Amino acid sequence: MSDDIPPSTGAPKKGWLEKVSQLFQGEPQSRDDLVDVIHDAEQREVISEDTREMIKGVLEVSDLRVRDIMIPRAQIVALQIDNTVAELLSTVISSAHSRFPVVNEDKDHIEGILLAKDLLQYGFKNNEEPFSLGQVIRPAVVVPESKRVDVLLKEFRSQRYHMAIVVDEYGGVSGLVTIEDILEEIVGEIEDEFVHDSAEETEIRKVSKQVYMIKALTPIEDFNEEFQTQFSDEEFDTVGGLVSHAFGHLPERNEKVSIDGIEFTVISADTRRLLQLRVKLPDQNTEEKTA
């Protein structure tokens, strides 16, 4: 009987992309009009705030050049082509990076790119064969500062590489750029799994005899207790606040500062605050701690 037929549920639910396309029927005449449409879509709950920010990130990336997002030359962590395995592993472990430019003498002479995973096997070999870094490095991709970021992202994907060396108009190395740098412009800060901020992860983690990784939000009181230091917590509650004050500005990745003989290196930071720090203790502190 017709009375037993359930009422029609209508057409299938439309996805957010289809709903956004309907909003574009007014044909925005400029970039600002398009941004307004996207904002309106969020207000109507057609898309989420995260989706709106991602779409805006895509639009902004199309206007950027590599020089706008590259890691400056001064902040590049490079390896020397003649370093020993022990020296290389020390830098790899302390910096927590996965890829490194390999240089000969200075940063204007790039020999190639080292993937940390390609080196690790040599750290566990006990043979007498001479080691040559030139045997394991990969070719370096070089791009100009003026290259469009969206074009570079397409090349990263199609040619399956993740890092490029950036050169200025005279051919000198001015920085480097990674696929993560571009993606962060679209989706926001991306944390390494090495510095992942989870409830289970401890705030202070030992890396080697004198080196520790700590969260910037580690309370100064906890830091003092762990390392037998005497930093005051009257003005700042966290180690990140103490370190930022010592810099006198919001530092960028790989910037270093020493406070009472302890070296702090910025491993991760966003546009507002420090996230992760590397702490290198002086010898005397290490001896006290292990005594």
Residue 285 has pLDDT above 50, yes or no: no
Q: Are 122 and 160 in the same domain? A: yes
Tokens of 16: 């957010």
Same domain, residue pair 260 and 212: yes
- Whether 77 and 108 share a structural domain: yes
Tens of pLDDT, residue by residue over 86-136, are 888 888 877 778 889 999 988 889 999 999 888 777 755 555 556 788 888
Instruction: Please state which of the ranges 82-96, 130-144, 145-159, 237-251 shows the lowest mean pLDDT.
Output: 82-96
Q: What is the mean pLDDT of residues 273-288?
A: 74
Domain edge (last residue) among 154, 187, 220:
187
The arithmetic mean of pLDDT across residues 75-86, rounded, is: 86
* Domain co-membership, 99 together with 201: no
- Shared domain for 109 and 165, answered yes or no, is yes
Among 63, 80, 95, give the residue marking a domain's end: 63
Please name the residue that has the structure tokens 């002086």: 282
pTM of the model: 0.54
* 153 in a structural domain: yes
Task: Count structural domains, the chain.
Answer: 3
- Looking at residue 124, what DSSP letter applies? G
In a domain, 206, yes or no: yes
Q: Is residue 14 part of a domain?
A: no
| Residue 219 lies inside a defined structural domain of this protein | yes
Q: Which of 125, 159, 187 is the last residue of a domain?
A: 187
In a domain, 203, yes or no: yes
Is the predicted pLDDT of residue 280 greater than 60, yes or no?
yes
Residue 286 is predicted with a pLDDT of: 42
Burial of 80 (0-12, 13-18, 19+ CB in 10 A): middle
Using an 8 Å Cβ cutoff, are 149 and 61 in contact? yes
On whether residue 9 sits in a domain, the answer given is no
By residue range, what is the domain housing residue 28? 22-63
Mean pLDDT value across residues 208-223 = 88
